[in-house]
Amino acid sequence: MTVPPLESLPLETLRRRSSSKWRTYGDDVIPMFVAETDFPLAPEITRVLAEAVELGDTGYTPPRPGVGEAFAAFADRRFGWQVDASHVLTTGDVMMGVVEVLRAVVAPGERVVTTPPVYPPFAMCTEESGAVVEAVPLRDTGTGWELDVEGIDAALAAGARAVLLSNPHNPTGTVHSREALAAVAASARRHSAVVISDEIHAPLVHTPGTFTPFLAVSDDAAAVGYTVTSASKAYNLAGLKCAVIVTAADDTRRVVRALPKEVEWRTGLFGARAAIAAFDVASDAWLDGLLAALDVNRRLLADLLAEHLPEATYRIPDAGYLAWIDLSAYGWGDDPARRILREVGVALHHGPLFGPQGIGHVRLNFGCSPDLLRTAVAKIGAMTRG
């Protein structure tokens, strides 16, 4: 059965929001930089949060608030992944979880592999943990990107102690193959290293793509892996502060259970309640509608770029609502987002922040209405005629 796409909220409603997307710039700017979407909340989330406000249920988050059980049911239903709820610990957000796991498994000064161009906080959080980034860039296949399995193995053989994966990958929207993930897991186990997999974009894999949870790939992956994820990207809940750290082996579970108690205490009560509602089967239809809307937009963006910016390079992402666009051909400098904001008032994410591979690139958030996407791309295209 075809699912109708969700409709974005009206622009005048969105501009009443007080989040980063709508308060960083003025009303004369179209914001397409940070990963917030423009859709109404899933009704089940709205219901539980409204109930909490009505009750004055704004206190501390209890131990075991039910997020683990809700996530396990969701993972089984949406990914065919069997998760032991007792192996799920909550914390405030994904990068908070990544930092704490890194602190527990990597000594200060040791190296952590990242796969640029990649989400800028990967480098920041690696450094916060006391470790050092070792970049092993994605391979450009000519039609997409893939993990450099041999490069990762060489880095681990030379002493790197961990691999930090973006799975699916931000900003390229790449869904890593089961084979590549299994090879990384085998390499990590062979070299006594660990893999931390950020799977925050997992609910947003587009048909016909298939998401592969790292911990479910193989016995090696289960032994060396830590997954950190959240409902926040798919359901637009970043401000409510709830993420999960998931393990699949006794040794890794002991590491997570030994983290400071404050790691779990950072979970927001509204975040926990909203996550449970998001992971509930009652929100599946909303998620399917979101995916339908994003599918329309990821394809529309290709058409718009062909019309207004024909020298841009864009590959339709396999997951998420973030587009990685190479604008180098236009000569707008290493960081074209700066010029675009200054000249036409469209705010995009700065490509060089994702690593040297991002020079000349921008990241555009298409989790918006088709009309707003049309307006933004037309404005940028007008720069080529100015």
Beta bridge partners, 374, equal none
From the list 235, 174, 169, 230, the residue with the least C-alpha distance to 367 is 235
Could you tell me the residue ranges of all domains in the chain?
Answer: 11-40+284-385, 46-282
Amino acid identity of 340?
Answer: I
Tokens of 270: 């509204």
Q: What CATH number is given for 11-40+284-385 in this structure? A: 3.90.1150.10
Residue 92, C-beta contacts closer than 8 angstroms, at least 6 positions apart: 241, 242, 243, 266, 267, 268, 271
- The predicted pLDDT at position 83 comes to 98
CATH topology (fold) of 46-282: Aspartate Aminotransferase; domain 2 (3.40.640)
Are 250 and 87 within 8 A, CB to CB?
A: no
Q: Walk along the chain (386 residues) in steps of 10 and give the mean pLDDT of each run.
A: 92 98 98 98 98 98 96 98 98 98 98 98 97 98 96 98 98 98 98 98 97 98 98 98 98 98 97 98 98 98 98 98 98 98 98 98 98 98 91
- The predicted pLDDT at position 198 comes to 98
Confidence (pTM): 0.97
Distance from first CA to last CA of the chain, Å, rounded?
A: 46
DSSP 32-101: -SSS---SPPPHHHHHHHHHHHHHT--SPPPSS-SHHHHHHHHHHHHH-----GGGEEEES-HHHHHHHH
Fold agreement between 11-40+284-385 and 46-282: no
Q: How far is the C-alpha of 191 from the C-alpha of 164, rounded, in Å?
A: 15
- The predicted pLDDT at position 2 comes to 83
Tokens of 167: 């799975």
Locate all alpha helices (DSSP H) within the chain, ordered by sequence: 11-14, 20-23, 43-55, 67-79, 94-105, 121-128, 149-157, 178-190, 219-224, 232-235, 250-257, 261-265, 269-279, 284-308, 336-344, 370-382
